[in-house]
Amino acid sequence: MQRIKEILEESKTIAVVGLSNKEDRDSNRVARFLQERGYRVIPVNPGQREILGEVSYSDLAAIPEKIDIVDVFRKSEAIPEIAKAAIAVGAGILWLQEGVRHDEATDEAHKAGLTVLQDICIRRVAQEL
């Protein structure tokens, strides 16, 4: 838990992959919470131009700034592609939300130097700290 606390204290920019523009979706509620906590949230949703007042990007490679955390709200089958993209953009953390796991892809991300968290809600953890 100490390492997660350090991650949340040191990180400033969080790309939320699969961020929905619908307020009742978990991804939207979590991203709003993160914004309220002072994080820069960057939406990654190819179907939207803007979410939560921020430009939405089609993928991680399109984001023109450094990403500290890639927070993923996608099905586990999508993780290999997202993990490769997180490695390619030099993200420090790959964070898979509650219910999302892909051991093979996260092993590759870990080998590439990323810190990987699986099946953990970033909001729940941040609230406990």
pLDDT in tens, 88-122: 999 999 999 999 999 999 999 999 999 999 999 99
- Residue 61 predicted with pLDDT over 90: yes
Domain ranges across the chain: 2-128
| Per-residue confidence (pLDDT) for residue 63, from 0 to 100 | 98
Helix 103-111 to helix 79-89 angle, to the nearest 10 degrees?
10
| Per-residue confidence (pLDDT) for residue 128, from 0 to 100 | 86
- Residue 38 predicted with pLDDT over 90: yes
CA–CA dist 82, 78 (Å, integer): 7
Please give the average per-residue pLDDT across 56-82, as a whole number.
98
Write the DSSP assignment of 81-115 as a string of letters: HHHHHHHHHT-SEEEEPTT---HHHHHHHHHTT-E
pLDDT category of residue 26 using cuts at 50, 70 and 90: very high
| Count of other CB atoms within 10 angstroms of residue 62 | 13
pTM: 0.97
Which of the four CATH numbers 3.20.20.80, 3.40.50.720, 3.50.50.60, 1.20.1250.20 does domain 2-128 have?
Answer: 3.40.50.720
Which is nearest to 39 in space by CA: 62, 10, 65, 3? 10
- Residue 129 predicted with pLDDT over 90: no
Q: What mean pLDDT value characterizes the chain? A: 96
CA–CA dist 61, 37 (Å, integer): 25
